[in-house]
Structure 1
Amino acid sequence: MATRTDVAVIGAGIVGLATAYSLQRAGVSVTVYEAGEPGGGQSAGDSRIFRHAHADPRLARFAVRSRGLWREWGDDLGAELVSLDGAVALGPGVDEKIDALAEVDGVDARRIDAAELAERLPILASHDGPAMLDAGGGSIHASIVVERLVSRLGDALVRDHVLTVRPTGAGTVEIRTGTRRAEHAYAVVCAGRGTASLAHGLGLSLPIRNAAHVRVSFDVAGAAPSSLATLQDSSGAFGEAAVYAAASVDRTRYGVGIAEEVPVNDDGRSVDPDALQGLAERTVAYVRRALPGLDPAPVGHVHCWVTTLPWGDDGVAVWEHENVALVAGHNLFKQAPALGGVLAELAAGGALPDELRPSARLGHA
């Protein structure tokens, strides 16, 4: 069968969409295969946090590259994709984060007092502990990003599930889906939870750990504030050791999550529903204590699988097998523009940067 397009992208989450968008902008033909709703898996929800602070300075520099591309994408797609409200972090590690970011060019991060904290995050309860502002951070308008990228893809998006990815030995990659067989010059697999099984078909064993997570959305009580920064709270001051939150595009909603995962059951395919419910209830309880500017009655839930690598929650890597690349990691939404660009260059004949090879352990905590 003749090659349908130059590159196959398996998975229309944010990394797959970013890869396909970068390929299209470079004039490379692409087909994106997605079994479900584009952006409906690990990329689901209205918003995500953009932040520069990472334990691995290489990943912080990668975030700087992505932040510039988010601006470029916004110009091209005709929408603000990352808010200008900044990213707030609370907790004893603030000074360490500021010191680390001082070594990264292009980042404006500084400690803020209680008065500025209240201005940047008016829905937060009174807090006079250590606080940091990453001025270049903010809420990624995730649903808008996905909508605009899917619109750009047009007919390049194929709604079908991929069963196998196989190099043919003749310079192409065979893709078998539920209803078709196609060949492409290259394939990029960014299928989230499905990546490991497709890799297994290639003889690769990827060290991906699967779990589940819940994020809860709340209405802002009263009028939308003029500023609503994202939040990372590791202070413990409000009863939880690790919480994150981001705002909707109009600042009328705030999505809040406790940074814990629900383990997969022994069957490898399911999770305990009571554990998910317990995590959601803890999130509501946190909102009542920490975020009095929100109505504590949930207005939305996102339940999703998460995939992490053994060297850290922000870990990311790309595996190569002949003319197939497979990417895995967690917390990748903010890094998608730079990561998608790298994958597009690789699919078009470029080389994989050493920092993204598994041996580099990018995102090591």
Structure 2
Amino acid sequence: MRVAVVGGGVVGLSTTAALLQRGVDVVCYEQAGEPMAQRSAGSSRIFRLAHALPDLVRLAAVARAGFGRWESASRTSLIGRSGCVISGEQMPVWAAAMAAAGAAHEVVDGASDGLRLPARTPPSEALLDPVGGVIDVDAVRAHLTELTRGAVLRAQAYALEDSRGGATVWSSAGEARFDAVLLAAGAGTSPLAAQVGIYTPPALAHHVRFTFPFDSPVAWQCWIDTPSTDLGTYQHQTGPGSWAVGGHLDPALTAWEVGREAATTASRDAVLAYARRHLAVEPRIVDSLYCVTTPDLGDGFEFRRNGPILAVYGENLFKFAPLLGDVLAAACVDGSTPAVPDVALNY
């Protein structure tokens, strides 16, 4: 069997590695200079079990076990043990989902010793996810790059065709025929999927994460905050003395039509103002990370298929990467279309 994986982000590389382990002849197309250089970029990401749905909590736990296998194979720590805090409007729903899934968690008040946050005023109530922590993106990239060595083709896939008994991929490296194709190209998935009759959300938005310096003897936890009257944020440490903050702005300020420069300026102003008001960090931006997102997807992932071509899309997929690699590799081989409830039941 011959499979094409379009997209060399963390999901594409995870699937390529899983296919290689199954003995499948696989080519991973990546248009960037290096794998995991676009949506998967950045030195760190948040891992968490906490989600709004019990199925996603259970699948995050499966993914954490997968990261553990990668850690054993690479002999490298991939996820820190700082823990993750969730506060704000979403907290009660996430806490209920954790309870329904049987995941370890605790709901505490703002005076709890269990909170280690850079907040000038702690949240009145918060959910503690003890399994949460910071993913070492660079270490994951190194591991997956080694596993997929020789299977990644630096070429842009620009056209697909569902042809008899398989599919054809046209790329900057030429034309090639495959038995199955996986589309895992992030922002590039929708235009390619549309060529073969698969709908995935086409809207795009700009997003920027900003890093601030800090000096604290306390190891802070990752933090996801969704207040009703202020900026929603996700926050985590990106290295010694570096604290990253991403803000969830009014969609009108970061829509694709606004342009990268205007969206970046709006994001910078909002996050900097938030840091000055609420955080015990030096209110000085020392780094930023830009990426393109698909708005309104929420947490989790979805799958769509037409014949031999399967597409995957979603937000915050990095933390599910080991699980998604296995699920997508199996679907490429057997021609199935996964669904989140079925995956949660079978894993």
TM-score greater than 0.5 by the shorter chain: yes
1:114 Cα deviation after fit? 3.8
Counterpart residue type for residue 291 of structure 1: L
Q: What does residue range 15-94 of structure 1 map to in structure 2 within 5 Å? A: 15-36=11-32, 37-94=34-91
The reply to whether residue 277 of structure 1 matches residue 265 of structure 2 is yes
Counterpart residue type for residue 217 of structure 1: T
Partner Cα separation in structure 1 for residue 115 and residue 127 of structure 2: 13
Partner Cα separation in structure 2 for residue 125 and residue 14 of structure 1: 35
Superposed CA deviations along residues 191-227 of structure 1, whole A, max 9, x for unmatched, are 111111111211333233211111112233256x4x3
SS of alignment partner, residue 103 of structure 1: helix
SS of alignment partner, residue 240 of structure 1: coil
Measured on the aligned residues, the alpha-carbon RMSD in Å equals 2.4
SS of alignment partner, residue 167 of structure 1: strand
Q: Which residue of 1 aligns with 2:120?
A: 125
Partner Cα separation in structure 2 for residue 234 and residue 157 of structure 1: 39
Aligned residue among 100, 108, 113 for 1:112: 108
Q: Which residue of 2 aligns with 1:323?
A: 308
Superposed CA deviations along residues 22-81 of structure 1, whole A, max 9, x for unmatched, are 222333232111111322222221111112222222222221221221212211222211
Counterpart residue type for residue 340 of structure 2: E
SS of alignment partner, residue 353 of structure 1: coil
1:278 Cα deviation after fit? 1.4
1:128 Cα deviation after fit? 5.1
The reply to whether residue 185 of structure 1 matches residue 173 of structure 2 is no
SS of alignment partner, residue 63 of structure 1: helix
The reply to whether residue 245 of structure 1 matches residue 240 of structure 2 is no
Task: Provide TM-score, normalisation by structure 2.
Answer: 0.89
The reply to whether residue 209 of structure 1 matches residue 203 of structure 2 is yes
CA change 1:222–1:51 in 2 (3 A) is closer
Q: What does residue range 151-190 of structure 1 map to in structure 2 within 5 Å? A: 151-169=146-164, 171-190=165-184
Q: Which residue of 2 aligns with 1:363?
A: none
Counterpart residue type for residue 288 of structure 1: R
SS of alignment partner, residue 276 of structure 1: helix
Q: What does residue range 216-295 of structure 1 map to in structure 2 within 5 Å? A: 216-221=210-215, 225=218, 227-235=219-227, 240-248=230-238, 250-260=239-249, 261=251, 262-265=254-257, 271=259, 273-292=261-280, 294-295=281-282
CA change 1:148–1:354 in 2 (3 A) is closer
Q: Report the identity percentage.
A: 29
Which runs of no fewer than 5 residues in structure 2 stay unpaired?
Answer: none
Partner Cα separation in structure 2 for residue 209 and residue 61 of structure 1: 29
Q: What does residue range 346-361 of structure 1 map to in structure 2 within 5 Å? A: 346-349=331-334, 351-355=336-340
SS of alignment partner, residue 36 of structure 2: coil
Partner Cα separation in structure 1 for residue 142 and residue 112 of structure 2: 34
SS of alignment partner, residue 144 of structure 1: helix
Superposed CA deviations along residues 204-255 of structure 1, whole A, max 9, x for unmatched, are 33233211111112233256x4x3311011235xx7341101222x443222
Q: Which residue of 2 aligns with 1:340?
A: 325
- Structure 1, 51-60 or 209-218: larger mean CA deviation: 51-60
CA change 1:320–1:95 in 2 (3 A) is closer
Partner Cα separation in structure 2 for residue 315 and residue 256 of structure 1: 21
CA change 1:26–1:295 in 2 (3 A) is farther
Which runs of no fewer than 5 residues in structure 1 stay unpaired?
Answer: 361-365
1:156 Cα deviation after fit? 1.1
CA change 1:220–1:93 in 2 (3 A) is same
Q: Is the 8 A contact 1:48 1:139 kept in 2?
A: yes
Partner Cα separation in structure 2 for residue 160 and residue 356 of structure 1: 35
User: What count of residue pairs does the alignment treat as equivalent?
Assistant: 339
Q: Which residue of 1 aligns with 2:288?
A: 301
Counterpart residue type for residue 224 of structure 2: Q
1:325 Cα deviation after fit? 0.6
CA change 1:210–1:128 in 2 (3 A) is closer
1:350 Cα deviation after fit? 5.6
1:147 Cα deviation after fit? 2.6
